[in-house]
Amino acid sequence: MRITLAMLLALALLAFPAAAQDRSVGGRLAVRWCMACHVVEPNQSTATDNAPSFRAIAARPSTTAASLDRYLAVEHTLMPDFLLSSQERNALVAYILSLR
């Protein structure tokens, strides 16, 4: 039992830096590609009136990692198609969800 718990804890600690790195990469992607329309950072004051802030998107009850990934994986009529890779989508999703 102790060995199993120790192994699970070790695996969780190994995964944590990857999640933090995803959020960091996602934050940089958001600044580069999304900031013109969305408020993507807590200290950002302006964006367009037509796009919700990332914090508002994260706060929606319907927002999940899967729903964000699906939304970012297809072309949108209201957003440019950035053709994000799956790793970039995962990073952007991790960043948005970190704003909850």
| Mean of all residue pLDDT scores within the chain | 82
For the segment 52-95, what is each residue's pLDDT rounded down to a tens digit? Answer: 999 999 999 999 999 999 999 887 767 777 788 999 999 999 99
For the segment 9-58, what is each residue's pLDDT rounded down to a tens digit? Answer: 555 545 545 566 778 999 999 999 899 889 999 888 888 778 899 999 99
Instruction: Please state, for a pLDDT cut of 90, what percent of the chain lies above it.
Output: 45
User: For the chain, which domains are there?
Assistant: 2-98 (1.10.760)
* Helices marked H in the chain: 2-29, 54-59, 65-73, 86-98
The pLDDT of residue 16: 45
3-class state of residue 42 by DSSP: coil
